[in-house]
A = this chain, B = another copy of it.
Amino acid sequence: MIVILKPNIDSDSREFRRLESHVRNLQNIEMRVHKVTGAEQVLTEIYLIGNTAALSLDEMKSFPGVDHVVRISEEYRVLGRHKDDHRPNNFTYNGVNFSQDNLNIFAGLCAVDSPASVEAMMKALQEHGQVCTRMGAYKPRTSAYSFQGHGKNCLQYVFELAGKYGIKVISMEVTHESHVDEINEALAETGTPTGVMLQIGTRNTQNFELLKIVGRQQEFPVLLKRGFGITLDESLHAAEYLASEGNQKVIFGLRGMKTNIGDPHRNIVDFAHIPVVKRLTRMPVCIDPSHSVGSRSRGGDKILDIMHITAQGVIAGANMILVDFHPDPSRALVDGPQALRMDELHPFLEDVRIVRAAFKQRLRLFNENTV
């Protein structure tokens, strides 16, 4: 059961304390408090765990300060959508809003290779009005003998350059808890010129210990990518590991599933699941067309497969795009063959704009028609 308090009620208030003391006296009921920071207000949610079947919805609603009460099922308790559940489907971080209703683009480097590449990328983004990017410092590689990313050595210059070019959020994969500490330190040393979204990759979707630790910090939002060998349901359950530890700023990432039925693409694209994730949970949905497709193939229509696949995500309501660019793909250290070039940034953004406008037209069509 979730008890959502009215906007102006926090855990120091009299209303909160009265409710708390009531719950403490209940048998076999545990209580966890989450704060959800939206664009305009902070919401307090109280999760009651245990034998809640015996609790009365009406009684809980009757406490002062309570806005509404939701009885939750076993599935995706915190991040899921439940009956009569009006909890928000968005959050704000470092001035950027992430929501099931908007779209943010994270074009950037799959792997940081040099300050020059980073600066070229950031500069181009600023010129095109972008405030988000992706930058890979820690790279999980199939082979122990491949380049593993520059790690903490590149963090300072990445953050400083982000600040210089007005980038507010960098999506950055972490594969170990120490990476979060290193990111925190580098941000502190550089005066926090930017923000970071922690990215958990497909190989760690069920690395539950990492999820728990990342979930315990509530500073950084988390982009959790779907596991490439498990069902959608299992990946959504993994997201709950983050939320159950306190961090609800979670974005769910689709990046293709690993099977040869997707050939000649690197993975079989799974963006048909966008409406499914948005129906089952309150998480914004990110797509990663670069890793899904894995190549710069293009058809007779002169359009890259990566752009077609991006369009497929956006037309169905994707909320975030993670896409690989590189000033010189042939010299990229990781996944060069799938990177877009700087001169493709403008048409990429234009293409997304066209398709997002069509998506909004579709929204209007169906919301007028069905009323």
Within 8 A of B (CB), among A286-321: 292-293, 297-303, 305, 307-309, 311-312, 315-317
Tell me which residues across on chain B come within 8 A of A305, comparing CB atoms: 272, 275-276
Asked if B204 contacts A207 (CB within 8 A), the reply is yes
CB distance A279 to B259 under 8 Å?
A: no
CB neighbours of A240 from chain B (8 A): 143-145
At the interface, yes or no: A175 with Cβ under 8 Å from chain B? yes
Number of identical protomers: 4
> Which chain B residues border A228 with CB–CB below 8 Å?
229-230
Q: Does A152 contact B (CB under 8 A)?
A: no
Residues of B within 8 A of A238 (CB): 142
In the complex, what residues of B have CB within 8 A of residue A204's CB? 206-207
Question: Contacts A145-B240, A259-B259, A260-B260 hold; do A302 and B347 have CB atoms under 8 A apart?
Answer: no
- Docked pose: A122 CA to B293 CA in angstroms: 40
Across the interface, name the chain B residue whose C-beta is closest to A311. Answer: B315
Q: A260-B231, A279-B299 are in contact. Are A237 and B358 (CB under 8 A)?
A: no
A264 at the interface (CB under 8 A from B): yes
Quick check: is A337 within 8 A (CB to CB) of the other chain? no
Query: Is there contact, CB below 8 Å, between B300 and A311?
Result: no
| Distance of A263 Cα from B233 Cα, bound (Å) | 8
Count chain A residues whose beta carbon lies closer than 8 angstroms to a beta carbon of B.
Answer: 87
Q: Give A194-232 interface residues, CB cut-off 8 Å to B.
A: 203-204, 206-210, 227-232
A207 and chain B: residue at smallest CB distance: B207
Taking CB atoms, residues of chain B closer than 8 Å to A311 are: 315-316, 362
Q: Does A62 contact B (CB under 8 A)?
A: no
How many Å lie between the Cα of A142 and that of B232 in the bound state?
Answer: 12
- Residue in B145, B209, B241, B355 whose beta carbon sits within 8 Å of that of A358 in the complex: B355
> B312–A271 contact, CB under 8 A?
yes
The CA-CA distance from A307 to B361 in the complex, in Å, is: 13
Q: Which of B145, B237, B265, B301 contacts A144 (CB 8 A)?
A: B237
Q: Interface with B: A102-110, A159-167, A324-332, A363-371, which one?
A: A363-371
Bound CA–CA A269/B305 (angstroms): 16
Contacts of A100 in B (CB 8 A): 300
Contact B366–A301 (Cβ < 8 Å) = yes
Q: Which residues of B contact A351 (CB under 8 A)?
A: 362, 365-366
Beyond the given A144-B208, A275-B298, could you list 14 further A-B residue pairs with CB under 8 A, ordered by the A residue number? A228-B230, A257-B268, A261-B270, A278-B299, A299-B317, A302-B366, A302-B367, A307-B366, A308-B317, A309-B316, A315-B315, A346-B369, A357-B358, A358-B358
> What 1/0 mask marks residues of chain A from 75 to 91 whose CB sits below 8 Å from any chain B CB?
00100010000000000
Check if B263 sits within 8 Å of A231, measured CB to CB. Answer: yes
Interface flag for A176 (CB, 8 Å): yes
Closest Cβ neighbor of A308 among chain B residues: B316
